[in-house]
Amino acid sequence: MDENKKITKIVISKEDELTDIVSAILDSQNERIVLTFAEETDLLISPINLKVLLETADENEKLVVAQIINNPTGQRNAVLANMSTIDTPQFPDEEVWDREEGNRAKRLNPPKRVEKEEKGKDEDLPKEEKPSDFQERVNAAIKKNKQERDIVEPKDDLLIALDQDLPTEGEGEEELKFIRLDEEPTAQEQADLSKVDFEDKTRNPITGERKPKVKKNLDFSKPFKSFFAGIGGFFKKIPIPDKLKKLAPIIGISVVILAILVGLIFFNTGVVVKVKIYVEAKEVGIEQNFVGDENIKEIDFEEFKIPVKTESVEKARSTNVTATGTAFRGEKATGVVNITYLCPDEASEGLEISAGTSLTSGGLSYTLDSAVSVECNIPVEKSITAIEVGEEYNLAAGKMFAIQGYSTNQVFGLNSSALTGGSKEEYTVLSKADVDKAVEELKKLAIGEGEQELKDLTGNWKIIEDSITSKVVPDSIDTEVAIGAEADSVSVSIKTESKASYFLNDGFDEGISNLLTKKAKEENLFETEGDWDLELGEEIEKEISVVESEGEGITIKLTAKGVVKPKVNKERIVEDLKGKSWEEGNGYIQSLSFSDKDALVDFIPEWFPDWLRSFPSRKGGIIIEVEEVK
């Protein structure tokens, strides 16, 4: 079924109040609503109640059909309220819904009233039955007077009597003027009215006399005096037997009392006041430091202390790595060189060259095997050894060597024979780079597992994310062979330690909500009269961090923000409004400053005089609707 064709059925019992049905209509998710009156209910005794329901549906773009079975009074009142009805137990068919949709369109956009031309009606009458020119003017004046009856103050000394005897002059407390609508006007009344401007609203359309201006402060006692005087004159002219004439005043007073009672009953049962209050949510935020204490068991929101604890986790991991380092092994080249000291003069002393002194030739280095004493200009033969293995150290005879610490112009070496014996071969060893790479991979894996284990240790405790620390345990790195040793595959192992701090989470979120609400009240976000509760939104943004951690102490910083709005108590507002005067009640409503948008107050029926309006005291007489301003 089309979503718009779904029907909500609201079954109304005799205990249901008008506000309950209004709320049900507002809560309905479907456009079409059937109000089923299954029992006798007071809601059907007045069309005003049904009119309120119909206006609520129209305002929320919903179609309403009343299902009233075996209740002629209820059906009649529904018709008076312009509400579509059915008297069968089945759902309304499409024809009923189409008709109700047309009725709603007319209610929301009523057609403009067009004055019908009635001139042609008299032209079809026989000549002897056509009204005279005077009668046409009187009829036009009466018609215009009816149109202006809401803005022209009636004269309190005019009474219109329909087909009855005129009272004699002097009867009653005031002189009354009567006009018989069933007889021809007198000669005096048939004065020339052609010069009278019937468009002038300040003149009487019958006599042409200028009407008194309407005063702002009306004397309401005059209409009542005229009313009672008219009643007296009416009873005097009725041919009542003498025995019953004594009862006439009693009957008149009874009629008046009955009218007053009917008015009071209508006021107490028929009028409704609808109040729409707008509520706006506002943002509030707090920043608060809590001192961590491992010796308390619950959060102290007065002293701002919070239970804390620290947990640690160790993880051991190992892996095999392939050695990628290279080294060489073999023999070092050896030989003999002649070391010569060129003295500047014959009297110079000889030189002492210590063992291990470096000798270089062609970029290759060798060391002196033992110390040597060199006299001036006398070569001394001494053995040397290459510093590295390899064939490249096997030098041919006749190579010159520079001696460390001396200039070749002063001291030098020369091999008279070739240097021999040098050789080498390459092999694989465990390098430091191999170990560092394995440790980094193991560290990442072990620390990740340790920190995740810490995060899983929650329960009533919540981890402080930025308090997590991890490291490799000192001296925990271990390898099967030493770095630089020959190897193909080597096992490497490490240990890591991860630590984290926790705070007690039990009751913490509720405490944050209370702190935010308290902050909103302190800042007086809603400048309204009375002590109204505040309602915090469900989404609260909070951030918790460690701002200080020295020794055994820890300080936690809380940053939180959310949106708060007044918690409108409809029942309280209704009780406060009951029985208040119209001005006093409106002043009270406007004092409820829940948003920048003023509240709306509607009195139903709208035609009810302002000076008689007040807020009903009966249950269901005041309907409160709350709307959140986005």
Residues 101 and 11 in one domain: yes
Q: Where are the alpha helices (DSSP H) in 165-209?
A: none
Residue recorded with tokens 């009375």: 530
Q: How far is CA 467 from CA 283, 463, 546, 551, in A?
A: 29, 8, 6, 14
Per-residue pLDDT at 13: 86
Residues 49 and 77 in one domain: yes
Q: Of all residues in the chain, what percent are helix, strand and coil, respectively (each to 5)?
A: 30, 30, 40
Per-residue pLDDT at 157: 38
Residues 160 and 15 in one domain: no
Q: Is 77 exposed, middle or buried (0-12, 13-18, 19+ CB in 10 A)?
A: buried
Q: Indicate the helix (H) or strand (E) that contains 307.
A: strand 305-322
Rounded to the nearest angstrom, the gap between the alpha carbon of residue 328 and the centroid of all alpha carbons in its chain is 75
Within 13 Å and on the Cβ side, how many CA atoms surround 603?
17
Comparison of pLDDT for 169 and 34, the residue scoring more? 34
Rounded to the nearest angstrom, the gap between the alpha carbon of residue 213 and the centroid of all alpha carbons in its chain is 56
What residues contact residue 555 under an 8 Å CB cut-off, 6+ apart? 289, 290, 291, 292, 546, 547, 548, 549
Classify residue 292: in a domain, yes or no.
no
Report angle CA 340, 344, 350 to the nearest 5 degrees: 50
Which DSSP category does 300 fall into?
A: B
In this structure, the number of other CB atoms found within 10 A of the CB of residue 552 comes to 10
Per-residue pLDDT at 380: 93
Residue after which a domain boundary falls, among 395, 419, 443: 419
Per-residue pLDDT at 423: 94
Question: Quick check: bond before 605 cis, omega within 30?
Answer: yes
Residue 379 phi, psi (nearest 5): -65, 145
**Residue 532, SS3?**
coil
Query: Which range is least confidently modeled, 167-171, 382-386, 540-544?
Result: 167-171
Classify residue 357: in a domain, yes or no.
yes
Per-residue pLDDT at 243: 57
Residues 457 and 317 in one domain: yes
Short-list 580, 555, 481, 9, CA closest to 288: 555
pLDDT tens across 422-467, in order?
999 999 999 989 999 999 999 999 999 999 988 888 778 888 888 8
In this structure, the number of other CB atoms found within 10 A of the CB of residue 133 comes to 10
What residues contact residue 313 under an 8 Å CB cut-off, 6+ apart? 450, 453, 454, 497, 498, 499
Residue 478 structure tokens: 């271990």
Residue after which a domain boundary falls, among 388, 419, 450: 419
* Range list of β-strands (E), 43-105: 63-68, 84-86
Residues 597 and 465 in one domain: no
- Which amino acid, residue 142? I
Per-residue pLDDT at 241: 62
Per-residue pLDDT at 333: 95
- pLDDT bin (cut points 50, 70, 90) of residue 381 is very high
CATH of the domain at 485: 3.30.110
Q: What is the rounded average pLDDT of the residues 200-229?
A: 45
Per-residue pLDDT at 212: 41
365 vs 577: CA distance, rounded Å: 110
Classify residue 313: in a domain, yes or no.
yes
454 vs 314: CA distance, rounded Å: 11
Per-residue pLDDT at 88: 87
pLDDT tens across 554-587, in order?
888 888 888 888 888 888 899 999 888 999 999 8
445 vs 440: CA distance, rounded Å: 9
601 vs 606: CA distance, rounded Å: 11
Short-list 577, 568, 586, CA closest to 626: 568
605 vs 52: CA distance, rounded Å: 9
Q: What is the rounded average pLDDT of the residues 256-263?
A: 71
pTM: 0.40
Residues 224 and 79 in one domain: no
* Range list of β-strands (E), 442-488: 461-463, 469-472, 478-479
Residues 453 and 313 in one domain: yes
Percent of the chain with pLDDT over 90: 22
pLDDT tens across 22-62, in order?
988 888 888 899 999 877 888 888 888 888 888 988 888 88
Answer yes or no: are the C-beta atoms of 137 and 186 closer than 8 Å. no
Residue range(s) defining the domain that contains residue 436? 309-323+430-504
Residues 316 and 353 in one domain: no
Q: Is the pLDDT of residue 414 over 90?
A: yes
Answer yes or no: are the C-beta atoms of 61 and 107 closer than 8 Å. no
CATH of the domain at 383: 2.40.30.10
Rounded to the nearest angstrom, the gap between the alpha carbon of residue 471 and the centroid of all alpha carbons in its chain is 44
What residues contact residue 533 under an 8 Å CB cut-off, 6+ apart? 566, 567, 569
* Range list of β-strands (E), 17-123: 32-37, 63-68, 84-86
Radius of gyration from C-alpha coordinates of the chain: 56
The count of structural domains within the chain is 5
Classify residue 257: in a domain, yes or no.
no
- pLDDT bin (cut points 50, 70, 90) of residue 412 is very high
Classify residue 248: in a domain, yes or no.
no
Classify residue 262: in a domain, yes or no.
no
* Range list of β-strands (E), 380-531: 380-389, 400-403, 411-414, 423-429, 461-463, 469-472, 478-479, 489-504
CA 593, 594, 595, 597 dihedral sign is negative
Answer yes or no: are the C-beta atoms of 498 and 467 closer than 8 Å. no
Comparison of pLDDT for 197 and 390, the residue scoring more? 390
For strands 553-566 and 534-536, give the pairing.
Answer: antiparallel
Percent of the chain with pLDDT over 70: 74
Classify residue 293: in a domain, yes or no.
no
pLDDT tens across 98-157, in order?
888 888 888 888 766 544 444 444 444 444 445 555 456 546 545 554 554 444 344 333
- pLDDT bin (cut points 50, 70, 90) of residue 20 is confident
Residue 244 structure tokens: 């019953």
Per-residue pLDDT at 334: 95
Answer yes or no: are the C-beta atoms of 152 and 223 closer than 8 Å. no
pLDDT tens across 218-246, in order?
444 444 455 555 555 555 555 656 655 56
204 vs 210: CA distance, rounded Å: 6
pLDDT tens across 301-360, in order?
888 888 888 889 999 999 999 999 988 899 999 999 999 998 877 667 888 999 999 999
Short-list 446, 448, 454, CA closest to 473: 446
Rounded to the nearest angstrom, the gap between the alpha carbon of residue 321 and the centroid of all alpha carbons in its chain is 57
Answer yes or no: are the C-beta atoms of 539 and 562 closer than 8 Å. yes
Per-residue pLDDT at 255: 75
Per-residue pLDDT at 240: 58
DSSP for 569-602, please give it. -HHHHHHHHTT-BHHHHHHHHHT--SSSSPPEEE
Residue 253 structure tokens: 């007073």
Residues 414 and 434 in one domain: no
Residue after which a domain boundary falls, among 504, 531, 549: 504
Residues 339 and 411 in one domain: yes
Classify residue 228: in a domain, yes or no.
yes
Residues 65 and 22 in one domain: yes
Residues 101 and 169 in one domain: no
CATH of the domain at 83: 3.30.750
